[in-house]
């Protein structure tokens, strides 16, 4: 998930981890984690913004 967390385009992430398309990765991700990659990324970014610095 580090590629997704880093903000890479889903197509690039899909290529990097061996999926044939962004759609295939998105479907597999949602099936595995119960949330679409886009929604996971938004939640992860929101959590980073709320985390105290230090």
Distances (CA, A) of 11 to 1, 19, 20, 36, 44: 14, 9, 9, 14, 19
- The per-residue pLDDT for range 2-44, each reduced to its tens digit, is 555 555 688 998 999 999 999 999 999 999 999 999 899 888 8
Residue 48 has pLDDT above 90, yes or no: no
For 3, 32, 34, 51, the CA distances from 12, given in Å and listed in that order, are 9, 19, 21, 28
User: For the chain, how many structural domains are there in total?
Assistant: 1
- Give the predicted TM-score (pTM) of the model: 0.69
pLDDT value at residue 28: 97
Q: Determine the pLDDT at residue 45.
A: 79
pLDDT of residue 4: 55
Tell me the residue range of the domain where 43 lies.
Answer: 2-50
Task: Return the CATH number at 40.
Answer: 1.10.10
């Amino acid at each position: 998930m580090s590629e997704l967390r880093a903000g890479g385009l889903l197509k690039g992430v899909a290529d990097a981890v061996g999926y044939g398309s962004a759609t295939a990765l998105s479907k597999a991700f949602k099936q595995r984690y119960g949330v679409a990659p886009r929604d996971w990324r938004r939640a992860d970014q929101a959590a980073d913004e709320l985390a105290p610095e230090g």
